[in-house]
Structure 1
């Protein structure tokens, strides 16, 4: 008799746990997945922002893909399912607006960044300025010229040369030291951290508590340091435009801006 009661109790308990599990799964399935394609330089800031946003909006699951802006562009044009695009320059956003993937009124500037030199700590060279990069034997890594980080680098070199600084043909001398062109700013940082080059041109926000073990930062003078501009917008093919707009509102509001400041980004004036 006692054994029967125990079996009945265990059976009831099993059914109860199964119901609880099914309810949990059902609630999880009810979350709306918002797919966001974002510039690689936002990885740390927006991985953190994701936690804050999802704590506030418990029915939304943010799904980020971080990559170089020019890696994301063709994916959007090939019909990749996504809701929000976040670019590290205005040119990429303008291209998508012109080609009908984004409405102009949807695009918002939300942050700025600046270039910095990432120097491998164990380099054999004494690098304290842009002029020091011209030392014989220094290896430099930059972004591909079609990437925002690559375009900003070229813009910087053009301005140095226009101002007649360091050398008559500084741009070419600098480029002679380039040993690799990378497809994202994170790829530049990783290679410098591993000692595959002495110097990399990155964003100021690419320096973290972790990589300062292997690299240090050299600030680039504002006189020729271009201001990187970040924009975000809802994609026209988004299935969840209202939720995408809610995410953009969060980014533009104080909560979202505080995450950017925490990771060293500059806010629009």
Structure 2
């Protein structure tokens, strides 16, 4: 009888133990599971590097220093973006675009060449905006071999003068200055003729004029005031051209119509026109164009 009772008690204990171990585990809310699964994906997305993209900007040679800085600032503000800058005379850049060269932004030193690329179908006319103005200045080697003291001295017999070619914006503006001066009694009607007789070379961009004068290859040249960089100023002297005789260079900029980076191109143009962009241009001597 006693063994029967013990058997019943042991069976009861076994059944009680099995019942306890069969209790269901506490359930985890569905939302928590989804959040845990999404967390690694979100972290991976946040850690992924920005897509590498290149923005190609064709810019007039006189913009070399200012656009180099603008490009660096734009890269710093746009992760993964590289600004590829190509500098040359505006006429050469317009010709490249007319022949189908791939680019995203065009910045010209003359409305003439912006109009040319509009006519070629590479830029929409409504997208072109003036972003800066520039002025002319006469430069000469620091030791002043031509003994220049006034603008009239450009017409002295035997002086060696270097100008940009008339197809280059600064060359065209230089010719306009000579025309205005020749109409001024203090210069004489033959001033332009005499100056052109002194020209020993016509260069295809303004930087070439600066370089040759700093090297002492001629007695005088005409460039933009923005070309008098800190380095150039150590090797050259200047003669100012008064506003009534000067020709103001107008600089337009526009995104290229078939740009493969249309959003970046528009952003770069906006950056150049912004207060920050205009401050950089002013630092290099350009006249603000957005305060009109």
Is the TM value for this pair above 0.5? yes
Q: Which consecutive residues of structure 2, in runs of 5 or more, have no partner in the other structure? A: 1-47
1:141 aligns with 2:162: yes
Corresponding residue of 1:121: 142
Task: Give 3-state SS (helix, strand or coil) of 1:222's partner.
Answer: coil
Corresponding residue of 2:253: 232
Compare relative contact order (CA 8 Å, sep 6+) and give the higher one, 1 or 2.
1
1:216 aligns with 2:228: no
Deviation at 1:186, TM superposition (A): 0.2
Q: Do the aligned residues in 1 keep the contact of 2:144 with 2:237 (CA within 8 Å)?
A: no
Q: Return the alpha-carbon distance in structure 2 between the equivalents of residues 203 and 257 of structure 1.
A: 18
Q: Do the aligned residues in 1 keep the contact of 2:139 with 2:221 (CA within 8 Å)?
A: yes
Corresponding residue of 1:42: 63
Corresponding residue of 2:74: 53
Q: Return the alpha-carbon distance in structure 2 between the equivalents of residues 163 and 213 of structure 1.
A: 32
Aligned alpha-carbon RMSD (Å):
1.3
1:108 aligns with 2:100: no
TM-score (norm 1): 0.87
Q: Do the aligned residues in 2 keep the contact of 1:108 with 1:231 (CA within 8 Å)?
A: yes
Corresponding residue of 1:15: none
Larger Rg: 2
Q: Return the alpha-carbon distance in structure 1 between the equivalents of residues 219 and 206 of structure 2.
A: 16
Deviation at 1:59, TM superposition (A): 2.5
Deviation at 1:232, TM superposition (A): 0.5
Deviation at 1:99, TM superposition (A): 2.6
Corresponding residue of 1:92: 113
Q: What are the within-5 Å matches in structure 2 for residues 117-196 of structure 1?
A: 117-196=138-217
1:246 aligns with 2:264: no
Deviations 1:74-107 (A, max 9, x none): 1111111101100001111112212321111110
Deviation at 1:27, TM superposition (A): 4.2
Corresponding residue of 2:39: none
Q: Return the alpha-carbon distance in structure 2 between the equivalents of residues 72 and 96 of structure 1.
A: 9
1:258 aligns with 2:279: yes
Task: Give 3-state SS (helix, strand or coil) of 2:101's partner.
Answer: coil
Task: Give 3-state SS (helix, strand or coil) of 2:288's partner.
Answer: coil
Deviation at 1:169, TM superposition (A): 1.0
Q: Return the alpha-carbon distance in structure 1 between the equivalents of residues 67 and 277 of structure 2.
A: 9
Q: Do the aligned residues in 1 keep the contact of 2:176 with 2:247 (CA within 8 Å)?
A: yes
Q: Return the alpha-carbon distance in structure 2 between the equivalents of residues 165 and 105 of structure 1.
A: 43
Q: Which consecutive residues of structure 1, in runs of 5 or more, have no partner in the other structure? A: 1-25
Deviation at 1:49, TM superposition (A): 1.3
Deviation at 1:128, TM superposition (A): 2.5
Corresponding residue of 1:21: none
Deviation at 1:129, TM superposition (A): 2.1
Corresponding residue of 1:74: 95
Deviation at 1:168, TM superposition (A): 2.3
